[in-house]
Structure 1
């Protein structure tokens, strides 16, 4: 059932889903399956596999819960064939819990107490025959022994019995939920007396909009305002009529129609109408508000997390400047601008601090210091963090480069988000043990221009700050989503086994922090890896981890040229057959576009390797280790545009997108 459900949702064959589920259950990762098991899944890509993995988790949880519910109701001896069929047919957790509601063990309610007092026959009688006079029938149930003092108490007990019965009817709940999803509004108002303190929420002081179409950023803003006790928010079931005191909600009409209750002036009709009103206002209305607000928050959080994940993906997959000597500047005003120079490999070759801004105002001296450092180390790129003092520092560097036209360095503004977090981390202290904490941020700013992916994976993803309301969403879901993004990015690019940090290695398919640490320890003890097979000597790195990781790990200038490519070691026999057929050595095959394009992939298909794998191998041999990231280029900021006043309608500017949210993008235009 789960296999067919996912296949329908993804519009793929059940056999594809079944194959992917088997691989996932065996411990294969999404990047590994997407790249190296295309024949098995018939070409499912990483996006389809991520969706499949997510739905598989949800549907398995649903199935586990279904079995728990069936067992519980069966043990109560209340499981009818009809109810069992409804439970088996439930395709989401909400429907399943609705069906379980009447049978759910719970503490004693007013309705249960009334049943224990013998009032259920009274409730049943009035519900079945509205021609009965409530007070007259209720008099028969007065009992000091049962705690029913008078007719009022008897009718109150009967009312609670019916209210709970109505509120636990799955069919009714589905009707009301459908109506509210189509019509209800969310309304926010400022908490009285908080007008000044809540000024940032002024858009929501008296705000109403359709619940089903609230954008995620507005929903999260209202929830945050409520959490801070700045806003009241409520669900409005009947928009436009909520201020009418005599107004009865349309939901009350739905309840009455569901149970075929009509007010025809009979003795019990008014009492039953009151039961309906109380059912809505006290039971179902509050329950639905909680449920629908919960769903709204969940949906808004999911959208916010998706925005965050996409931004992080774009940041990690940004074009690397590559092996260029880079100066990193961590701007500051009173505390000075921290300076670090790293060589082409990212090794720190120089650091200092300059004080161009107030109160020291050492502008000219700072320019001379930067110019001398650029000349001394032949700096090619100057990476400026975009924090406090960045505009002033950018101006300083611009003037320095103008005054020293012989310098070939380019200045680029980069996000410094997370640099301070990295500076104080245990990893930074191990990587840069002799460097003052205040200078480590400048090193990170320089390195993240050389290779954003390799540097940013060292930072807790949430500290990078490329999302909206990231602190308001489920931190566990956010963390899981961002980890998946990093895993996909790292494996899409590939990792140099002999230079990668433990942080970078830990995201490689099949590896974890322990194995990453063990790889680095092995490297430190035995020297650089000469071939992928040497990974098998790493402590605790077994056959499964090797299978999952090997294809994503590169060894440059190793004993086997294929180890620097994305060809998996398990597929080396395919290349052996290519070498045998063409009589061309591996080294001469690599990059030999003319020869490779003449080869027919079908000639190298075997029981183990199909057309998709052979095509991937030929493509990889043509351009080994190709980087999926775009070519590095910088935005040319327009001269004379320094303030908002300099902007004119119709002006076209180059810029750098620094952040994206559902309501728009933030672009640095200089």
Structure 2
């Protein structure tokens, strides 16, 4: 038998089986990944959230494989066709493809030409000609003529003549060849290495298509096609612009490919001892091999390989989206500042919303500084009044249509009225319109017009990107590649995991968090999140973590999972504002008793905490890793893992793509990272692309190793294509380090 699931996972993840076993037990008992990663490090040997997510995913996959193995064994046993040899092979099948290959001859299928031929008694003819090619097919086939007859499966046409007899025998052998599991694996492996995917533009789209011009006459080894290119090709095919075809690389070179058996046909022939020795049946057998390959086996494997290409590309695209989303969610917050949010627009005006330090809406307005009204001075007057009245310090500007014009308005305001001490910052408005029209926005801002809610969201996402972006479907945030082409269920599952990990990495103030934020806390559901809000509204702010146990539906198990991530600043117990889990409070109390200090005197006391020996407090309940984590947390309780807030400064006078010149060095913000490079907002309405080869002076395999969404970078303009709206950038600045 194969090794156990635990041992297979241990091998795949390069960790000890004991770590796998402990983690599986925790997952099966309902523990969440964030909880396991943060509070069960002893049990898992310190596996982080990424490893745990991968483990959980592979665990599900391997369990599904074992379910399928059991079902296949049962189905073959039921047919009475199981042999010890077959059972052994099935038990050792390592993947689904091999398992399905083995099941292929026993799978229930519609009545095939081969089955009809077998009913007509043609199997001995097929076996005879394959076993002894010296026998003349025409003479032997004459022995198998048969009149039409009726079977339990339906009418059978019988065998009217020699031609039908030989055709029926061919169908039998073709089915036999195409269901031979070891052969299929050999051919699959060969195709993976030696096949190429070709694309041709359809005749009716040749002159009109502009999106897929790079693929109108395309050819690349299937094993080397990067994910973004695979998804582009598949989209082109789906839109009826491209025709995709898999071919053997050898067939592209050989003009006489229809005359000489290709390498796969040769492998089929070798498997069944078919050779062209000019014997009576050799020509017939070689034709059977060719038909088996072209009409049956290749068609099946082509579909499978392109499907695998799609799955691999989707998996990579989901990973890229997930990494970008995590960077965006964990972008540094501007903090608790009164903020003016501007949702730019031209004809419909710029929507304005002022929010206080908690994100509460203080005021709204609509201004019309741009064409057609061009009320520049009126817009400045309104913004000045709002900033003075509410003591605003930040202006958040959405980066959509008219963003640069609106940014110029904000800078004009700052320059004219320096006493306001305002700072303007461009922020991504991706998903703001989705939020504005959502049910959640209606609940949060019932009195506010839909058009103004976007400005509120823009202001809040500058204050705290994580708290605001969790209100939007992750797929609408717009940091993926070909996100609408990929498996939506897998995408949603992966992105939800990213949001969950991000929320729990930062922690949540239970007294101010929205239901949208709370529902991502480990162990909490949407229902419990709303129950917490309802309890808070009825009974006031929580003073202690333990009070959460009074919330309806929040039981002991949920409390165990969630409590460490729910923070209560300024509560009765300072530990409730930290990441120290309530289950560890007795340990802290023991430490306090030993050093004769109270908790307020211990928290943040670097000298005292460094003098404590964690080994002294490690025991069966609290391992050494847990004790060290607690002491580290007490140094800076509730510390925010996000980096310090910083924003890019766009160069004045560079507002459109027409203002750019090759060689310019500019500051910008990474807006998206793809497998082939990174997109950068340099303030001209059109993001530029830093190709993967231009990200660094060194070889870069994964762009995420160099840049992340939201990062401020310095780039040089390489090339501008105004017609196609493409800007080529580089981060290889050589000696030119200053912004010119």
Q: Which of 624, 634, 654 in structure 2 is aligned with 1:611?
A: 624
Instruction: Answer yes or no: is 1:24 the counterpart of 2:27.
Output: yes
For the 8 Å contact 1:236–1:242, the answer to whether it is kept is: no
Number of the residue aligned with 2:737 = none
Shift of 1:523: 1.0
For the 8 Å contact 1:656–1:669, the answer to whether it is kept is: yes
- Hey, what's the Cα distance between the residues in 2 that align with 1:59 and 1:633? 44
Q: Which aligned pairs between 1:481-520 and structure 2 lie closer than 5 A?
A: 481-520=494-533
Instruction: Answer yes or no: is 1:135 the counterpart of 2:148.
Output: no
Q: Which aligned pairs between 1:206-605 and structure 2 lie closer than 5 A?
A: 206-239=217-250, 240-241=252-253, 244=256, 246-247=258-259, 248-605=261-618
Shift of 1:249: 2.6
Shift of 1:237: 1.6
2:229 aligned counterpart, secondary structure = helix
Structure 2 length-normalised TM: 0.89
Structure 1 length-normalised TM: 0.98
- Hey, what's the Cα distance between the residues in 2 that align with 1:246 and 1:565? 73
1:107 aligned counterpart, secondary structure = coil
Shift of 1:644: 4.2
Shift of 1:651: 4.4
For the 8 Å contact 1:238–1:249, the answer to whether it is kept is: no
Instruction: Answer yes or no: is 1:113 the counterpart of 2:116.
Output: yes
2:8 aligned counterpart, secondary structure = helix
For the 8 Å contact 1:531–1:563, the answer to whether it is kept is: yes
For the 8 Å contact 1:327–1:381, the answer to whether it is kept is: yes
Shift of 1:645: 5.3
1:23 aligned counterpart, secondary structure = helix
Q: Deviations over 1:403-431 (max 9, x none)?
A: 22223111111111111111111111111
Shift of 1:652: 3.8
For the 8 Å contact 1:190–1:232, the answer to whether it is kept is: yes
For the 8 Å contact 1:238–1:250, the answer to whether it is kept is: no
- Hey, what's the Cα distance between the residues in 1 that align with 2:510 and 2:29? 25
Shift of 1:245: 5.8
Count of residues paired in the alignment = 670
Shift of 1:140: 0.6
- Hey, what's the Cα distance between the residues in 2 that align with 1:143 and 1:505? 75
**Cα distance change, pair 389–647 in 1 and its aligned pair in 2 (3 A):** closer
Q: Deviations over 1:452-484 (max 9, x none)?
A: 000000001111111000000000000000000
Q: Which aligned pairs between 1:175-186 and structure 2 lie closer than 5 A?
A: 175-186=186-197
- Hey, what's the Cα distance between the residues in 2 that align with 1:95 and 1:78? 19
Q: Deviations over 1:89-128 (max 9, x none)?
A: 1111111111111111111111111111111111111110
Q: Which of 76, 82, 86 in structure 2 is aligned with 1:83?
A: 86
- Hey, what's the Cα distance between the residues in 2 that align with 1:318 and 1:103? 55
Shift of 1:75: 1.2
Shift of 1:650: 5.2
2:204 aligned counterpart, secondary structure = coil
Number of the residue aligned with 2:6 = 3
Number of the residue aligned with 1:165 = 176
- Hey, what's the Cα distance between the residues in 1 that align with 2:95 and 2:258? 37
Shift of 1:18: 0.2
Number of the residue aligned with 2:736 = none
Single out whichever of 312-321 and 73-82 deviates more from structure 2.
73-82
1:327 aligned counterpart, secondary structure = strand
- Hey, what's the Cα distance between the residues in 1 that align with 2:240 and 2:208? 10
1:101 aligned counterpart, secondary structure = helix
- Hey, what's the Cα distance between the residues in 2 that align with 1:253 and 1:368? 82
Q: Which aligned pairs between 1:190-209 and structure 2 lie closer than 5 A?
A: 190-209=201-220
**Cα distance change, pair 643–145 in 1 and its aligned pair in 2 (3 A):** closer
Single out whichever of 652-661 and 449-458 deviates more from structure 2.
652-661
Single out whichever of 385-394 and 8-17 deviates more from structure 2.
385-394
2:667 aligned counterpart, secondary structure = coil
**Cα distance change, pair 206–578 in 1 and its aligned pair in 2 (3 A):** same
1:406 aligned counterpart, secondary structure = helix
Instruction: Answer yes or no: is 1:666 the counterpart of 2:669.
Output: no
Shift of 1:661: 1.1
Single out whichever of 160-169 and 384-393 deviates more from structure 2.
384-393
Q: Deviations over 1:300-328 (max 9, x none)?
A: 00011111000000000000001011111
Instruction: Answer yes or no: is 1:187 the counterpart of 2:190.
Output: no
- Hey, what's the Cα distance between the residues in 2 that align with 1:76 and 1:408? 82
For the 8 Å contact 2:34–2:49, the answer to whether it is kept is: yes
- Hey, what's the Cα distance between the residues in 1 that align with 2:639 and 2:430? 29
2:240 aligned counterpart, secondary structure = coil
Shift of 1:371: 2.1
- Hey, what's the Cα distance between the residues in 1 that align with 2:85 and 2:209? 53
Shift of 1:193: 1.0
1:632 aligned counterpart, secondary structure = coil
Q: Deviations over 1:538-564 (max 9, x none)?
A: 111111111000000001111111100
Shift of 1:48: 1.3
1:665 aligned counterpart, secondary structure = strand
Q: Deviations over 1:139-174 (max 9, x none)?
A: 111101351110111111110100010000111111
For the 8 Å contact 2:505–2:641, the answer to whether it is kept is: yes
For the 8 Å contact 2:404–2:655, the answer to whether it is kept is: no
Q: Where in structure 2 are there 5+ consecutive unaligned residues?
A: 150-157, 684-740
- Hey, what's the Cα distance between the residues in 2 that align with 1:580 and 1:246? 88
What is the RMSD of the two structures over their aligned residues, measured on CA atoms?
A: 1.3
1:108 aligned counterpart, secondary structure = coil
Shift of 1:362: 1.2
Shift of 1:271: 0.4
2:580 aligned counterpart, secondary structure = coil
For the 8 Å contact 2:548–2:559, the answer to whether it is kept is: yes
2:363 aligned counterpart, secondary structure = strand
**Cα distance change, pair 487–243 in 1 and its aligned pair in 2 (3 A):** farther
